[in-house]
A and B are shown apart, each in its own frame.
Chain A
Amino acid sequence: MHVSVDLNVCQGHGVCHMTAPDVFELDEEDGHAIVMVDPVPAELEADAQLAADSCPERAITVS
């Protein structure tokens, strides 16, 4: 599974980091999501999918 964040759409809610802390970190300044592991290891795929679903801006793409 690949995961990416559209930083033009991300608004820094931080929900992804909360849902999948091993996949997403947050930028110090504006809270924008930073992908930590790509491709996503199998054991984190469910978390990454949940984070994508839970993003209020739908800024996260998993493929």
Chain B
Amino acid sequence: MRIVVVGASLAGVRTVEGLRRRGSDADVVLVAGEPGAADGVAVDRPPLSKAFLASPDAEAAPLTTREKLGALGVELVPGRAVDLDLGARRVGLHGGESVAFDRLVVATGSSPRTVPGLEPVPGVFTLRTAADAAAIRAACTEDARVVVVGGGFIGAEVAWTLRQLGRPVALVEPLPTLMVRGLGPELGAAMTRRHAAAGVDLHLGTSVAGLEGRDRVEGVRLTDGTRLPADVVVLGVGTVPETGWLAGSGLDLRDGVVCDEHLAAVGAEGVHAVGDVARWHHPRYGVDVRVEHWTNAVETAGVVAADLAGERAVHDALPYVWTDQLGGRLQVFGQVRPGDEVRVVSGDLDGSFVAITGGEGQLRGLVGLGAVKQLMPFRRLLLAGAGWDEALAAA
């Protein structure tokens, strides 16, 4: 049995480690194509928009090394996958080589979106790899004027981090509040006010119309007519799953590789997907989801390693994401849906707090800032499927 894992970021690396921990004696190959990384192995990404960006001395270590993989009996193949032949059971690599497999794990993650129509000019960055983060850090010199495009978790976190370093930071977001997809409108609005109070120059409800500057970026023009001077522009406008190399393979691709609850690709034999690239039927929610969070990468790797080792597992974990900003750690568990009710059950929205969210009598989400301990009882209730009234009673 030969298992080939394509992608050497968190989900791929944890999959090969998990296989060995579960006693798999299969031949295991890790195809590693992280751009700009030694041997193609990615670093742990969460610090890249946090501590790494904030400290000139911070380093980012790869998630594994050739030596560590060798000790596990895992073959490291640096290279970028360019196509998949399911019939011949081979993955084609850039440069013409190919790798044969019996079982395939797709772990190619996602790539940052860019803004349509924006010409790539020096000074404009996306943030995904350690090389990206190092380039942004180097460009954000003491007097650099920064414009962040996109007010999701990454954009807001980058804006906060750079503002704390004293940089003048503007943020452009087409929606009226920051982090609305993750936090919902009410909590998003409260956190937006805190960004404004911290001196982030917010431009909400407007979009980027174009860039100024020829040899390097000098400014950003907005659709509302505003012109923002800029030395550095960071695009944080989401990601797209890395499935280009799977086009025409016969795999069902719909914003990710479509999988069942075991993360086995639907309609294909012996193919799994893990991490950002996997879309699966979530038993807890009864809908197909794709999740780009750190914990999801770890959990999916555990499920697939178990499945390949002959222990059937289901991926029904409670989603968890965190971001370091607003003077603490913001943690979100479960789902915050747009129309859901929000109740602050500990603290207040100007300081540390815990809020519960839900609807139709259900507790569906938890948001906490700087309140790990206070979150815990509610987290247990959420996991246990407790109702809204039960959660309120625990407040």
Contacts and interface: CB of A to CB of B under 8 A. Distances in A.
Interface of A: 11-15, 17-18, 21, 26-31, 49-50, 53-54, 56
A20 to B, nearest CB: 13
A30 B328 CA distance: 11
Given A31-B373, A56-B322, 18 more contacts: A11-B329, A12-B329, A13-B331, A13-B372, A14-B331, A14-B373, A15-B295, A15-B320, A18-B380, A18-B383, A26-B373, A29-B373, A49-B21, A53-B14, A54-B298, A56-B46, A56-B294, A56-B295
Given A31-B373, A53-B298, A53-B302, A13 B14 contact: no
Contacts, number: 43
Contacts of B14: 53
Nearest to B383: A18
Q: Interface on chain A toward B: helix, strand, loop, or mixed SS?
A: loop
Nearest to B51: A11
Interface residues of B, number: 20
B68 to A, nearest CB: 13
B299 interface: yes
A29 B372 CA distance: 9
A17 B383 CA distance: 13
Contacts of B298: 53-54
B375 interface: yes
Interface of B: 14, 18, 21, 46, 294-295, 298-299, 302, 320, 322, 329, 331, 372-373, 375-376, 379-380, 383
Contacts of A31: 372-373
A9 to B, nearest CB: 12
A12 B295 contact: no
B302 A50 contact: yes
A50 B303 CA distance: 11
Max count, chain B CB within 10 A of own CB: residue among A18, A21, A49, A50: A18
A6 B376 CA distance: 21
A54 B295 contact: yes
Contacts of B376: 14, 17-18, 26
Contacts of A28: 373
In the A-B complex, list the 4 residue pairs whose CB atoms are closest, starting with the nearest.
A31-B372, A14-B372, A12-B372, A31-B373
Interface centre among B46, B298, B372, B383 (most CB of A within 10 A): B372
B154 to A, nearest CB: 16
Nearest to A26: B373
A12 B322 CA distance: 11
A27 B372 CA distance: 9
A27 B376 CA distance: 12
B316 to A, nearest CB: 14
